[in-house]
Amino acid sequence: MARYFVRSVMALTLSTIATPGQQQPGPGEVRLSSISYRPPALYKLTADAKLVEVGVVVRDPRGHAVAGLTKDDFEVADEGKKRPVSAFSAETSAPMPATAVGTVTPPAVASSAPATVSQRYVALLFDDWSMTHAELLPAQAAARRFVKDGLRGGDHAALFTMSGAQNVAFTTDISKLSDAIGNLRLNSRGNGHVECPSMTPYEAYLIANHVSLETFNVKIKEAARCQNKPPVADLTDWSAAAPATARGRGAVAGNPLEVAPGVMSQASAIWEQARVGYRTNLMTIGEVVDLLGRMPGSRTLLFASSGFLSSTLEQEMDEIVRRALRAGVVIDSIDAKGLFTTSLSAEAGAGGRMDARSVRNMQSTALPSKEAANDAAAALAYNTGGLFFHNRNDLDTGFELGIRPEVSYLLAFTPEEAPNGQYHHLKVRLKTPGHNTVQARLGYMALKHSASKPRAERRIDLSAEASTVMEELPGDFATQLMHSAAVEHGVVTIFHVDIGQLRFTGKSGVRQQKLSLIAMLSDAAGNFVTGKEGTVTLALEEPTFQAHAPEGMNFTLTLPAPPGSYQLRAVMGEGSEGRISARTLPVEIQ
């Protein structure tokens, strides 16, 4: 699970044994990419699982969790229809008695006697993609104060970032963790390319998803000015969204159909690129949740972010909530923007591309865009029984949220209708009116069970889940411990490929092949810990091939993980003929 974690740019690297003057791969000859990997079996849900689980925290007016409630105190509505609660349990943050380890019966919640403080694991996750420098500094200061004053003896805390560039494994070393927080740096996904008209991801979302025709018209007019065309009329519907709409219409002065398809294409491309990044954010959050779920004691994720859009990603959000509820992980979210205004910079109108209407549209979308960016953080917090700290600048208080509620409840119900593939809104309330506040998940995805044949499993996935040695592909495997100048532990998996015996395709002296690499760690009990999948696309010119054929090429995947004993499963496969080599290697991370 973790990657300790996340998507570093050089997660898959190429190393070659070269002599002075040896031909090195040129641009495009070797292309590398990598993503997080989880065995497909871990994603499979049992078809008979009909229950919808709802984690609930009830707080009094002072914010304290309310204990002593029963199944009969709650009422659940699914899309406005009441559902009987078919399963119920109460959980407290007090530790299990030593004799009860491994059982699922929680301690009694009615007792008011103080309990021994349970072991606690807190993961601090910084969204270093979204924050500005002005937002990062107070968040760092607040987090360092939390680490210094908010952690108790025996508490473990870890630091993660969305980029994966600055992570610290769970530790009780407060000084080490504080230094790492102070050394956090921002990262950027931007490509530095500015198009005309300019378009934010939120504006692109409004256009690509047919949400705001006004924004579409504003950008059409800006595009006309960018192209030095005459002023164009407004569109009255979305008929010009398709690129083929303008064909055969001829060039008519003031016709918006001349530029509308281009604006739609621009919006779709910007939104898709942004959506991929936002989906990656959710994958990272899910990985931290999974890691926390394997830790003993209470488990809290403190997520600090300036926000990102989660529209159209409801299914991914729901999956994270399900995993958090099952693992007993509470997510507390902190909006690093604090109190914000919607003032705009005058530089946006430079060059005459924007007019008064453009500025009005920017003003009308400024606040909704900031609020929409909070949706993911708010939903993850509310749906897991955590708190969402926003619209305040005292971030110290926000980081003090990292305490699991003293008591929480898990309700479950069975939907009456067949799954319709839609997002269902949930409402949980107390039957007896009062001043208490109920926090519960806001909804769930009612996924249809596909009637079609299941997708064929990849052979490389089956090989990753097996333990047998396979030697079909010319090459070998090796490992070495990570050597990080800072804080991470882990293992580097080395895939040695004998390209001299590799079967290539291609023409005109270019040798083409595609390799898939998987590195996966399991603990001593065989439980999945973390994994990565890399893709190597080769298009070797003949001089490059001849230079490296004698020694081969090495590709590496890095798996950060806490110190301990592991089994590393390494698999590599080729694309043209499907040959595979695989081996399981013991690893001791120190």
pLDDT tens digits, one per residue of 237-246: 887 665 544 4
Residue 344 falls within a domain, yes or no?
Answer: no
Identify the DSSP state of 483: -
Asked if the structure places residue 521 within a domain, the reply is yes
pLDDT score for 322: 83
Please tell me which residue, 341 or 517, carries the higher pLDDT value: 517
Backbone CA torsion sign across 535, 538, 544, 547: positive
Q: Which two tokens stand for residue 8?
A: 């570093």
128 lies in some domain = yes
Q: Label residue 75 by pLDDT band (50, 70, 90).
A: very high
| Model pLDDT, residue 479 | 92
Q: Domain end: 264, 280, 302, which one? A: 264
Number of separate domains in the chain: 4
Same domain, 38 and 61: no
> 527 vs 365, which has greater pLDDT?
365
Higher pLDDT residue, 469 or 43?
Answer: 469
* DSSP H/E element including 139: helix 133-149
Q: How far apart are CA 325 and CA 306, in angstroms?
A: 24
pLDDT at 568 exceeding the cut of 90: yes
Whole domain around residue 71: which residue ranges?
52-93+406-445
- Residue at 517: amino acid letter: L
Co-location of 179 and 285 in the same domain: yes
Q: Which residue has the higher pLDDT, 398 or 417?
A: 417
pLDDT tens per residue, range 32-44 = 877 777 777 554 4
pLDDT over 70 (residue 116)? no
Q: Is the pLDDT of residue 449 over 60?
A: no
Half-sphere exposure of 262 (CA within 13 A, CB side): 15
Average pLDDT on 272-278 reads 86
pLDDT at 112 over 50: no
Q: Could you tell me if 410 and 527 lie in one domain?
A: no
Does the structure show a pLDDT above 70 at 229? yes
From 523, 543, 587, select the one nearest 23 (Cα to Cα): 543
Edge to edge, the sheet with strand 12-16 lists 12-16, 553-560, 490-497, 475-481
Question: Which CATH number belongs to the domain containing residue 479 in this structure?
Answer: 2.60.40.10
For residues 11-28, b (16+ Cβ closer than 10 Å) or e, as one string? bbbeebeeeeeebebeee
Residue 76, pLDDT > 90, answer yes
Give, as one character, the DSSP assignment of residue 468.
-
Residues 72 and 209 in one domain: no
Q: Are residues 500 and 410 both part of a single domain?
A: no
Decide which of 386 and 435 is more confident. Answer: 435
Least confident of 93-107, 270-284, 310-324, 558-572: 93-107
Residue 369 has pLDDT above 90, yes or no: no
**Could you give the C-alpha distances from 286 to 279, 289, 416, in angstroms and in order?**
11, 5, 29
The pLDDT of residue 422: 73
> Which residue, 223, 239, 264, sits at the end of a domain?
264
Cα Rg, the chain, nearest whole Å: 27
Task: Tell me, yes or no, whether 464 and 535 share the same domain.
Answer: yes
Is 105 within the bounds of a domain? no
Q: Are residues 312 and 419 in the same domain?
A: no
Q: What is the mean pLDDT of residues 310-322?
A: 86
In this prediction, residues 341-365 reach a mean pLDDT of 64
Structure confidence at residue 250 (pLDDT): 44
pLDDT category of residue 149 using cuts at 50, 70 and 90? confident
Residue 508 pLDDT level (bands cut at 50, 70, 90): confident
| Ordered DSSP codes for 536-565 | EEEEEEHHHHHHHTTT-EEEEEEEE--SEE
CATH number at residue 171: 3.40.50.410
Q: Do 167 and 296 belong together in one domain?
A: yes
Residue 512 has pLDDT above 60, yes or no: yes
Residue 364 lies in a domain: no
As beta bridge partners, residue 521 has 530, 568
pLDDT at 178 over 70: yes
With respect to residue 104, please indicate whether it lies within any of the assigned structural domains.
Answer: no
pLDDT at residue number 586: 93
Residue 162 sits in the same domain as residue 304: yes
In a domain, 115, yes or no: no
Note the pTM of the prediction, 2 decimals. Answer: 0.55
Task: Mark which of 264, 285, 315 sits at the end of a domain.
Answer: 264
Q: Is the pLDDT of residue 471 over 60?
A: yes
Q: Are residues 538 and 508 in the same domain?
A: yes
- Residue 578 within a domain: yes
Looking at the structure, tell me whether residues 462 and 572 fall in a common domain. Answer: yes
The CATH code of the domain that includes 66 is: 2.60.40
Mean per-residue pLDDT of the chain: 77
Shared domain check, 511 and 416 = no
Give the pLDDT score at 197.
86
